[in-house]
């Protein structure tokens, strides 16, 4: 893998979490938007890939405002051939990513001072696993 980019700074709690995950990660600015890209992100069994790159668009006002959705490259598909709803494509960093339109709900609002990349990735894992249950 090419040298990992660090094009913007993250809070220390995110840096500690990302280093503990031991996955290659980058901070990328593309089209004026900030992205955290985690490479070799492990996926639940039942998808066409065991790992993919997962990207999070990080607002400039983060961590006071929430991270929303997740983007995967290459595109994910359940191995049973069922479709995943709420998907679209999004181009950044020279690739076409699969955007998962998943959002926090009124029972799971962003908690300023608590929520971060780590808690958002917990949601991402839940979304990925839920899609497999729904596609069964």
Angle formed by the axes of helices 117-135 and 12-21, to 10°?
Answer: 50
Please state, in angstroms and rounded to a whole number, the distance separating the CA atoms of residues 69 and 109: 13
HSE of 70 in the Cβ direction (CA atoms, 13 Å)?
Answer: 23
Please state, in angstroms and rounded to a whole number, the distance separating the CA atoms of residues 34 and 4: 15
HSE of 88 in the Cβ direction (CA atoms, 13 Å)?
Answer: 5
Per the DSSP assignment, residues forming a β-bridge with 4 are none
Please state, in angstroms and rounded to a whole number, the distance separating the CA atoms of residues 128 and 20: 21
Q: How many domains is the chain built from?
A: 1
User: Per-residue pLDDT tens for 45-99?
Assistant: 999 999 999 999 999 999 999 999 999 999 999 999 999 999 999 999 999 999 9
User: Per-residue pLDDT tens for 1-41?
Assistant: 679 999 999 999 999 999 999 999 999 999 999 999 999 99
Question: Would residue 66 count as lying in a domain?
Answer: yes
135 band by pLDDT with thresholds 50, 70 and 90: low
Q: Which domain holds residue 95?
A: 12-135
Question: Would residue 39 count as lying in a domain?
Answer: yes
User: Per-residue pLDDT tens for 91-108?
Assistant: 999 999 999 999 998 888
pLDDT at 108: 87
110 band by pLDDT with thresholds 50, 70 and 90: very high
Question: Would residue 7 count as lying in a domain?
Answer: no
């Amino acid at each position: 893998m090419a040298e990992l980019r660090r094009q913007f700074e993250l809070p220390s709690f995110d840096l500690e979490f990302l280093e503990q995950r031991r996955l290659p990660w980058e901070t990328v600015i593309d089209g004026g938007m900030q992205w955290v890209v985690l490479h070799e992100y492990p996926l639940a069994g039942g998808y066409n890939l065991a790992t993919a790159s997962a990207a999070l668009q990080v607002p400039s006002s983060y961590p006071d405002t929430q991270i929303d959705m997740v983007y995967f490259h290459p595109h994910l598909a359940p191995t049973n051939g069922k479709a995943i709803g709420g998907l679209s494509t999004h181009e950044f960093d020279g690739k076409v990513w699969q955007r998962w339109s998943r959002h926090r709900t009124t029972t799971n609002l962003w908690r300023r001072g608590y929520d971060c990349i780590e808690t958002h990735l917990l949601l991402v894992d839940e979304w990925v696993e839920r899609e497999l249950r729904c596609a069964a």
